[in-house]
A and B are shown apart, each in its own frame.
Chain A
Amino acid sequence: MGSRTSSLLQQEEIEEIQQETGFSPKQIVRLYSRFTNLDKSDRGMLRVEDLYRIPELVINPLGERIIQTFFLECESDQINFRQFMKTLGLFRPYKKRYGPEAINTREKKLKFAFQMYDVDNDGSIARDELLVLLHMMVGSNITEEQLGAIADRTLLEADLDEDGQISFEEFIKALEKSDCEQMMSIRFLN
């Protein structure tokens, strides 16, 4: 595996990805081997089906949404390694020295979350989209009315301009006090 990985991944490509995402070369090599592992068709592209083959992700209540959002940016149903890394780079812990242009700022992390909430992809979250999300997350022991009440309260709290929907600005505002930078970060192994 090791030799194959290094032969396929050019040094300049590593550097470019490093520039773009902030991952260390070791992390990039490691994630590349993961990428090739997932890439069953061996064409250097990851397809939706490849992600559906990860058993844990399939039983994750939000698994489907996660996969859909992963492929949202590239408009086709496959992503190359660079796009894959760019999306993962979002989940690196943000540091001030990265500056506001970095790919993993608080706002960009929240944008990803927002896109997952926003099922119909129209730039705002409506009541039925909240319901879809709640349905995925809670078990069957909560009634439809209760879920409705939760969705209503959520909307009431966040919807500042009272148009019945949560815009991205309202979404950021509602989570102002949450520690999103920390919560939406994971540690990548070297």
Chain B
Amino acid sequence: TEEEIESYEILSVNFLEVASPLVLSIWILVAAVAKIVFHFSPLPKYVPESCLLIAIGFIIGALFLANTASPFKPELQAHIFFLYLLPPIMMEAGYFMPQAAFWNNIGSILMFAVVGTLINAFTIGLSLWGVSMGGLLRGNTTINFLECMTFSSLISAVDPVAVLAVFEEIHVNQVLHILVFGESLLNDAVTVVLYRVFESFNEIGGEHLATQDIIFGFISFFVVAFGGILIGLIMGFLTALITKYTYKVRVIEPIFVFVMAYLSYIIAEMLTLSSILAIVTCSMFMKPYVEQNISTKSHTTIKYFLKMLSSISETIIFIFLGTTSLSKEAHQWDTAFVLFTLLFCSVYRAIGVFVQVTILNRFRLFKINRRSQFIMTYGGIRGAIAFSLVALLCSKVISAKPIFFTTTVVIIMFTVFVQGITIKPLVNFLHIQKAEKRKPTMNEEIYERFNSHLMAGVEDIVGHHGHHWIKEKWEEVNHKFLEKLLV
């Protein structure tokens, strides 16, 4: 009868209609529960969280692989990664950046991020090309030069997400931390440009390349980097300005902070500029002004929401890394290529860090010692950015994509698991100075402020303008103009 049909419909299971949000919620739930379980186990002492999450990803991936009927593929899609998962982590990185340490070491950080990444990309690319030309690959296949360079440009950069995940747990001293972490953040522009340049060179084809293209590639580096920074500054400025007028509606304060930062990322992405530099700059710039403008409660909300968002993103990324590694996406194992990539990645990073530290130490007031240098080499962890970039490669243009894909997975697994797990014991073994977590006392705070004025004064007397002078100038401009305008 009619009544029966109706009651039947009320009870119907309408899975497809809610499929995506349901699966998404379950994902986040699984990820969060996995974290709880992990921290109740004795594992955190030995294994970084990221390793465990990837392992869980392996298990889930295997389950999906076994169940061929499943309509869902638990794979990390590049656009989801870049548009939704990466921005929260990068925003957190910028917002909680230890700015004093960052600016004090900016020269070294830039050197590692730009010169270091370029050295890595070109040496790895050239060497792999040599290996391929030497006929060392399976079945004497050759991978052409441009393909090798495309691959090396995505594999040579240190990954900010993976570095954050590992370095947050080992608590090395601030200088060492900021050097590796800063490098991983600022090398984004280099990675983006190299990747894009070589990808388009592949499309144009080696024989049609003109000098002009190479010059444009060089110019585009500056456009991508400074464009990203500029967008970050503009959006950060606007956020600070808006929060000046939110004191009547306190609840929307966090919204502006999040939406504006996200917008900076998306706009940079739209204009193919460095989106990571944009969002990091935006959050770094806005922070001091926003903090003065908004209520304490809003600020607490922002802090917690940001921490939560980024930790969830990070968790999902690592689980996805596990599942996608096992996915049905075309894999092609080539022992020689994998092993040589692994070798080149490690050796060239070591050489690159050594050479750069030797040069930098001539200019640094306080030198980077050999032991710290080793940890810097060892901190060169690759992660989801390389993974997403390799997945984005078009297999029609780059025929070696399956080899690249498999090799990228191996490099990520090696750096995250082997280096990630052993870095903590190594830090202890080498007696690397640890970070201490405590609030500065009143005396220390006053002394610190006092000292920065004093050192700026000494620089004035000496007549040589170092970073104390720059800091003092910035504070003057900040005090005279920006704070008046934005607070």
Task: Identify the A interface with B (CB < 8 A).
Answer: 31, 34, 37-38, 51, 54, 56-57, 59-63, 66, 70, 88, 91, 93, 113, 116-117, 130, 133-134, 137, 139, 150, 153-154, 157-158, 174-175, 177-178, 180, 182-189
Contacts and interface: CB of A to CB of B under 8 A. Distances in A.
Contacts, number: 101
A178 B436 CA distance: 11
B454 to A, nearest CB: 6
Specify the main secondary structure of chain B where it touches its partner: helix
B457 interface: yes
Specify the main secondary structure of chain A where it touches its partner: helix
Nearest to A54: B460
Given A157-B441, A157-B442, A62 B454 contact: yes
Contacts of B334: none
A38 B444 CA distance: 33
B366 A183 contact: no
Contacts of A130: 446
Given A116-B454, A154-B442, A137 B449 contact: yes
Given A116-B454, A175-B443, A183-B451, A188 B461 contact: no
Given A60-B453, A113-B447, A186-B468, A51 B442 contact: no
Given A88-B458, A91-B455, 15 more contacts: A34-B462, A34-B463, A54-B460, A56-B472, A57-B460, A60-B460, A88-B461, A133-B446, A137-B453, A154-B442, A175-B443, A184-B454, A186-B466, A187-B363, A188-B464
Contacts of B148: none
B412 interface: no
Given A57-B457, A183-B455, A31 B462 contact: yes
12 contacts: A34-B462, A54-B461, A56-B456, A60-B472, A70-B461, A91-B458, A93-B365, A113-B447, A174-B443, A178-B447, A182-B365, A184-B451
B250 interface: no
Nearest to B452: A183
B476 interface: yes
Interface string B151-171: 000000000000000000000
Interface string B428-450: 00000000100001111011111
A60 B456 contact: yes
Interface in B267-320: none
Interface residues of B, number: 32
B459 interface: yes
Nearest to A92: B365
A189 B464 CA distance: 8
B458 A66 contact: yes
A155 to B, nearest CB: 9
A176 B462 CA distance: 28
Question: Which of B366, B436, B444, B457 has the largest count of A CB atoms less than 10 A from its CB?
Answer: B457
A12 B476 CA distance: 43
A60 B472 CA distance: 8
A137 B475 CA distance: 12
B387 interface: no
Given A60-B456, A66-B457, A175 B444 contact: yes
B443 A62 contact: no
Contact of B461 (A57, A150, A153): A57
B479 interface: yes
Given A59-B476, A139-B479, A150-B442, A186 B450 contact: no
A62 B444 contact: no
B417 interface: no
B348 interface: no
